[in-house]
Amino acid sequence: MNLHVGRKLMRIREMRGVNQEVLAESLGMSRQAVSKLEQSETIDEIMLSRIAKALNVTPDQIKNFTEEGVIYNIQNNYDNASCNQGPNYQGTFYLLDEYKKEVKENKKLYEALLKEKEEQIVLLTKMLESK
């Protein structure tokens, strides 16, 4: 059942939307080292535990991963969901609204920092001119 753990790792990484560089950075290694791990049939337990933690899964989920299991999970959790309630975009829009608020707040903070920096430059210029 543990055939080619590296390929399973690669599929889980891809499904989680994580590229090799991001995974490599979180593991403190190079992208090439992650690529080599994904080509390995076996991965030692310590490294597998570190990878699992970085991908927010368990080592057993990596070892026992199958495409059929993913399809089964999707079918049983989403196909049987009630569609009569209409689309539920509230979560997505909520996150988008929160993101927009954060962007506006960051913009305000950036503008305040720029203003403060300009005031400091004016003050330093006046101090230099008075000498």
Give CA–CA dist 23/54, Å, rounded. 7
pLDDT per residue of the chain (131 residues) written in tens, 0 to 9: 457 899 899 988 888 888 899 999 999 999 999 999 999 999 999 999 999 999 989 998 888 888 777 776 667 766 555 554 445 444 455 677 777 888 888 899 999 999 999 999 999 999 999 87
Give CA–CA dist 11/81, Å, rounded. 26
> Which of 26, 93, 31, 36 shows the shortest CA–CA distance to 56?
26
pTM as predicted: 0.53
CA distances to 42, 72, 90 from 82, rounded to whole Å, are: 41, 18, 16
Evaluate whether the domain defined by 5-69 bears CATH number 1.10.1050.10.
no
